[in-house]
Structures are given as structure tokens and as C-alpha cells.
């Protein structure tokens, strides 16, 4: 159970109107906390947070890169900062490359300064993309990655790596209790239908009877984690003091080729869609699977939702969204 559950904690979530941020906000509100959400609505949507009860939730539409953020009166006394703000889907970060770099550098520095000022703990959401196109498999946190600075994914991968550097500096120089989550592909029906990431694309296509678009031959792999598991991992990361100053993988180690995911979505949704093949995007990682021994050891966390179970729930909820 979250440590603050017996007393009201004031928690800041940046990127609160996004996919993960809105799920995390709802979970922490269920646990009894008081949440301030900040989002500039660049890839997130106000509709993701519209049903959240206002008594314990304040939403501020703002850019976390703005220097004025730190002095917002609403943020005084903040005890925990979850810094999630950043485009995450390749479709969004490639349309917003400078903003992506900026939010993970200036935005992260602002949040670390806020943590320093208020004495708050902080979780920074980095990514499995920090490993690039990995040469070590599965990926453990000590692997330093195979990342390209000169390509369409660099604005995201290198921005997140720079964000991690800032966390390291504030942890060692100012003892800010910051922890880094390297999150691996997370999904649920909370992803907007037009988010562009693979599960939202495949399920939306399958339910509409459109072609299911596999990039490349579909032999590249990913390991998919259901959103409730990822959210639990992030909350534990915040809670555990032994995680301070650590980088920890948060992901589900069950790894599948993308073609398998396409076929599974088609079968589970009883779709008549055709599976079609399209060019593989530049620098698309060939393999991705987390080693979660560190998360198990430090957080006592293991994901519990299988891909099949998570996909069934996702298909059912997307179905309701599309028909409603
Ligand atoms: P998302 O795009 O749904 O949410 C990100 C949110 O950040 C959006 O609501 C967006 O409007 C907001 N944002 C972007 N720039 C901002 C700025 N300058 N100021 C204020 N708000 C800003 O993405 P998500 O999947 O919810 O990802 C959340 C975080 O988790 C990101 O940092 C992402 O890199 C990380 N992550 C997610 C995954 C995943 O599979 N979902 C995997 C690895 C890492
Ligand atoms: N992908 C695909 N079809 C799509 C969208 C994505 O085959 O419609 C592939 C993509 O090339 C990648 C994997 O699915 O190999 C995961 O893509 P996503 O954009 O969800 O996340 P990534 O892990 O690449 O950041």
C-alpha cells in the first residue's frame, strides 16, 4: 500500500492528461491523495481527465519548460513529483522533436529544482528507448545502450538519456531523492485510437475492419505491459527509499514478435481485417525485453497481466468507445 495512504499527500503529476499520467492520477486519487496535474495538452487530451472528481484534483494547463512553473503557488508543499510530461509515441515525438528534447531537459531540470526547493521525492519516467537498438538481450539497467544521435528517434532517446543525467546530477550534487523508471511498451484502451503506437493501431484497425498494418516483416519484438501493472510499479518506485538514486526497468518480460501481436489481435477481436506489410521505420529496434530482476528485488514488483488478458480487456473497451 502507498505510504501516504493514511495521510493526505500533495502530489504533482506532469503529463497528467496523457495516457499513463491520467491512469496514475486516477489510481493515486483512489488511494486518497490530493493531485495537481500539469499538462500542455500537446499529445494528451482534456477528455482523459474530465471525469476525475475536482475535490482532490487541480488541473493546470501549462508547459513544464516554463521557468514560472516552479513558483506556482499551487505547488508549494508538494511532497512527490511524478515527471511524465513528454510525447511518447513516435508519431508525436517525431512531429515535435525540439519540444521533446526541451521537455526532457528543461522540463526535467525545472522539476528537479522544484523537488530541491520543496524537499519532494521525484520519479522520472525514462524509457526502454534509452537502450536504443540493443545489442544485449534481455536489457538490464547496467547495459549502456546502442543509440543513434543522428536519426528520427534521437530526439526522444537522447532526450531521455539527458533527462537521466540531470537526475544523476541532482541526486549526487543536491541529494534530491529521485528515481528513474525505464518503462517498456505499456498499453490499454486508454491510448487514443489515433495515438499511433502499435496496440492502439492494431486494435482500432481490427475493430473497424481496416488493414492491420505491420511494419517490416513483423519479426521485431516488443514486450508489452498492461497499464495497471506499470502504474503499480511507478507508485512502488516512489515509495521505496532504497530506490533513491536508482534506474529501474518497469516492463513485462513476456516478449512477442509484432506479427504474433497482429495475429492475436485479429483472432481475439474476431476481425475480418487483412494483415498487410509496410516499410519498417528507420532505426526501429529489432528486439526489446526487460530484465526485471532489479524491480523484483528493490520494489518487490512483478507484472501480473498476460498479453492475452490485457488485449481482451483492451479490445472490449475500445469496442465500447468506437460504438459509443
Ligand atoms: P502521452 O503522450 O500519452 O502523455 C504525455 C503527456 O505529456 C501528454 O499529455 C502531453 O500533452 C504532455 N506533455 C508533453 N510535453 C509537455 C510539456 N512541455 N509540458 C506539459 N505537458 C507536456 O504518453 P504516455 O504514454 O502517457 O507517456 C508518459 C511518460 O512515460 C512519457 O514521459 C514517456 O516517455 C514515458 N514512457 C511511456 C511508455 C509507454 O509505453 N506508454 C514507455 C516508455 C516511457
Ligand atoms: N508497428 C507496426 N505497426 C503499426 C505501429 C507500430 O508494426 O501500426 C511496430 C513498430 O514498427 C515497432 C513496434 O510495432 O516495431 C512498436 O511500435 P510503437 O510505435 O508502439 O513503439 P516503439 O516500441 O517502437 O516505440
Query: Nearest to residue 318, comparing CAs of 275, 268, 282?
Result: 268
Residue 8 — very low, low, confident or very high, per pLDDT cuts 50/70/90? Answer: confident
pLDDT at 4 over 70: no
Q: Is 183 in the pocket of ligand 1 (CB under 6 A)?
A: yes
Residue 5 — very low, low, confident or very high, per pLDDT cuts 50/70/90? Answer: very low
Looking at 34, 82, 124, 156, which residue is catalytic?
156
Q: Identify the bridge partners of residue 186 per DSSP, sorted by sequence position.
A: 225
CA of 320 to the centre of ligand 2 (A): 24
pLDDT cut 90: percent of the chain above it:
95
Residue 3 — very low, low, confident or very high, per pLDDT cuts 50/70/90? Answer: very low
Q: Is 93 in the pocket of ligand 1 (CB under 6 A)?
A: no
pLDDT at 2 over 50: no
Helical spans, DSSP H, in 85-191: 90-95, 97-102, 108-118, 154-174
pLDDT at 199 over 70: yes
pLDDT at 253 over 60: yes
Per residue in 167-198, pLDDT (tens digit) is 999 999 999 999 999 999 999 999 999 999 99
CA of 99 to the centre of ligand 1 (A): 12
Reduced to 3 states (helix: H, G, I; strand: E, B; else coil), residue 92 is helix
Most ligand 1 atoms within 8 A of CB, residue of 26, 84, 107, 229 to mutate: 84
Q: How confident is the model over 84-105, as a mean pLDDT?
A: 98
CA of 199 to the centre of ligand 2 (A): 8
Q: Is 256 in the pocket of ligand 2 (CB under 6 A)?
A: no
Q: How confident is the model over 90-108, as a mean pLDDT?
A: 98
Do the domains spanning 5-187+224-253+290-303 and 198-221+254-288+308-323 agree at the CATH topology level? no
pLDDT at 70: 95
Q: What does each C-alpha distance from 107 to 59, 125, 212, 231, 309 come to in angstroms?
A: 17, 12, 36, 21, 36
Cell of 215: 511494419
Strands (E), the chain: 10-14, 34-39, 57-61, 80-83, 121-127, 178-183, 186-187, 212-215, 221-223, 225-226, 247-250, 255-257, 275-278
The C-alpha R_g of the chain, in whole angstroms, comes to 19
Cell of 193: 485510437
pLDDT at 32 over 70: yes
Q: What is the CB neighbour count within 10 angstroms for residue 202? A: 28
Residue 7 — very low, low, confident or very high, per pLDDT cuts 50/70/90? Answer: low
Mean pLDDT estimate for the chain: 96
CATH class for the domain made up of 198-221+254-288+308-323: alpha beta
pLDDT at 9: 86
Atom number in ligand 2 closest to CA 262: 7
Cell of 130: 534509452
Domain boundaries, the chain: 5-187+224-253+290-303, 198-221+254-288+308-323
Per residue in 42-56, pLDDT (tens digit) is 999 999 999 998 899
Q: How confident is the model over 66-72, as a mean pLDDT?
A: 95
* Residue 156 designated active-site: yes
Atom number in ligand 2 closest to CA 128: 23
pLDDT at 297: 98
CA of 125 to the centre of ligand 2 (A): 20
Q: Is 18 in the pocket of ligand 1 (CB under 6 A)?
A: yes
pLDDT at 6: 43
Distance CA 158, CA 306 (A): 31
Per residue in 201-243, pLDDT (tens digit) is 999 999 999 999 999 999 999 999 999 999 999 999 999 999 9
Q: What is the CB neighbour count within 10 angstroms for residue 261? A: 22
**Which residue puts its alpha carbon closest to atom 33 of ligand 1?**
88
What are the backbone dihedrals phi and psi of residue 48, each rounded to the nearest 5 degrees, phi first?
Answer: -65, -25
CATH class for the domain made up of 5-187+224-253+290-303: alpha beta
Residue 324 — very low, low, confident or very high, per pLDDT cuts 50/70/90? Answer: confident
Amino acid at each position: 500500500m502507498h505510504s501516504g495512504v493514511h495521510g493526505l499527500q500533495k502530489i504533482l503529476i506532469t503529463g497528467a492528461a496523457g495516457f499513463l499520467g491520467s491512469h496514475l492520477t486516477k489510481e493515486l486519487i483512489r488511494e486518497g491523495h490530493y493531485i495537481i496535474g500539469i499538462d500542455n495538452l500537446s499529445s494528451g487530451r482534456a477528455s482523459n481527465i474530465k471525469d476525475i472528481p475536482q475535490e482532490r484534483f487541480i488541473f493546470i494547463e501549462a508547459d513544464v519548460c516554463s521557468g514560472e512553473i516552479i513558483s506556482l503557488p499551487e505547488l508549494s508543499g508538494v511532497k512527490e513529483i511524478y515527471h511524465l510530461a513528454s510525447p511518447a509515441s513516435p508519431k508525436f515525438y517525431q512531429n515535435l522533436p525540439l519540444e521533446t528534447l526541451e521537455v526532457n531537459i528543461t522540463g526535467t531540470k525545472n522539476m528537479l529544482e522544484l523537488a530541491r526547493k520543496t524537499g519532494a521525492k521525484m520519479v522520472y519516467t525514462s524509457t526502454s528507448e534509452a537502450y536504443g537498438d540493443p545489442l544485449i538481450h534481455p536489457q538490464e539497467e547496467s547495459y549502456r545502450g546502442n543509440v543513434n544521435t543522428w536519426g528520427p528517434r534521437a530526439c526522444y532517446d537522447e532526450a531521455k538519456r539527458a533527462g537521466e543525467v540531470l537526475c544523476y546530477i541532482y541526486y549526487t550534487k543536491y541529494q534530491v531523492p529521485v528515481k528513474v523508471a525505464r518503462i517498456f511498451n505499456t498499453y490499454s484502451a486508454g491510448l487514443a485510437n489515433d495515438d499511433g503506437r502499435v496496440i492502439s493501431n492494431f486494435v482500432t484497425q481490427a475493430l473497424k475492419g481496416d488493414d492491420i498494418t505491420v511494419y517490416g516483416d513483423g519479426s521485431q519484438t516488443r514486450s508489452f505491459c498492461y497499464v495497471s501493472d506499470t502504474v503499480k510499479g511507478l507508485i512502488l518506485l516512489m515509495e521505496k527509499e532504497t530506490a533513491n538514486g536508482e534506474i529501474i526497468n518497469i516492463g513485462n518480460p513476456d516478449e512477442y514478435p509484432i506479427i504474433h501481436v497482429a495475429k492475436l489481435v485479429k483472432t481475439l477481436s474476431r476481425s475480418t481485417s487483412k494483415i498487410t506489410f509496410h516499410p519498417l521505420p528507420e532505426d526501429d529496434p529489432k528486439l526489446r525485453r526487460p530484465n526485471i530482476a532489479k524491480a523484483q528485488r528493490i520494489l518487490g514488483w512483478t507484472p501480473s497481466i498476460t498479453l492475452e488478458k490485457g488485449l481482451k480487456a483492451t479490445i472490449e473497451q475500445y469496442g465500447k468507445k468506437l460504438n459509443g
